[in-house]
Amino acid sequence: MNDTCSAPDCGNLRPQHQFVCVNCVHLLKQDLDAATWLLTDLDTTISRQDAIVPPGARGRSAETALPFKWAASEALWVLGNVVTTWARLIVESSGYRPADDHTALGAVRFLRAHADVLCLRDDAGDAIAELEAAVKDALRAVDHPTDVRIYLGKCGDITGQRGCPGRVYALPAKEHGQCERCGEQHLTRERRALMLRAMANQHLTAQEISTMLAAVGVQVSVDQIQNGGRKRRFTAVGKDPHGKRSYRVGDVLREFLGPDWLAA
């Protein structure tokens, strides 16, 4: 039996009842605490900008501004995807009731409350490594938020579970993006469709949806989303801890991108 910690590059001895060492459990909880405030801080970083009003939108309030701080948008997408994926895996494997707050912030709070349960999984080391990388990227994005590229996920698959883990970026209006690690080229429209599929079932506020769509080059303003909700073009599915309405991302995409929004 292998008694070493399953976290990459660790190698410390672990307790018999879990798959990671005591030090990595502590680091996991630290990263989850950091993710809690980073998810809010990234949203603030993205919002702190000059208003750019899309065609058809009115006014120049911060609520109608399109987010163009791509590094922060990407970091928000990646961190949100990591915490929601691992929260879902715990719910599916353990039978715990999922968080009532179906947002990335709700997911990270769920993980923090069930961190010890996560450490009982044989893939706990992977969870720790993914969260650590996502938190580090988020910290960099908060410090250096300006970028003009479109984020198209990881190279092997968009979440980095298989194949090359390099990030794929494309410049606006370019047909192809390129992996920054291995150089492989990817069609922008195909990768964007994969990213949109991954977002579809998430419940997010208008600001969060606008931010995450901007990261993949889709421009839908907060004002447009909120107006769509008010006009019953799609229905709010709940509220976040601050009382802001949340929507299913797929419903918003169907309204603004049409019924074929999943097509590559």
- Give pLDDT tens digits for 204-227: 889 888 888 888 888 888 889 999
Query: Who has greater pLDDT, 128 or 103?
Result: 128
pLDDT band at 63 (very low <50, low <70, confident <90, very high): very low
Q: Tens digit of pLDDT for each residue in 12-38?
A: 999 988 999 999 998 899 899 889 888
Question: What mean pLDDT is reported for the chain?
Answer: 82
pLDDT band at 46 (very low <50, low <70, confident <90, very high): low
Residue 153: left if φ>0, alpha if ψ -120 to 50, beta else—which one? left
How far CA 53 is from CA of 18, 68, 91, 124, 213, in Å, comes to 51, 12, 40, 44, 16
Q: Tens digit of pLDDT for each residue in 68-87?
A: 456 777 888 889 999 999 99
In angstroms, how far is the first alpha carbon of the chain from the final one?
46
- What is the pLDDT, as a whole number, of residue 100? 78
* 98 has pLDDT over 70: yes
* 59 has pLDDT over 50: no
d(CA 157, CA 179): 11
Query: Who has greater pLDDT, 55 or 187?
Result: 187
pLDDT band at 48 (very low <50, low <70, confident <90, very high): low
pTM (predicted TM-score): 0.55
Q: Tens digit of pLDDT for each residue in 134-188?
A: 998 888 777 655 556 788 988 988 887 788 988 898 887 789 999 988 989 999 9
All structural domains of the chain with their residue ranges: 22-147+200-257
| Three-class DSSP category at 19 | coil
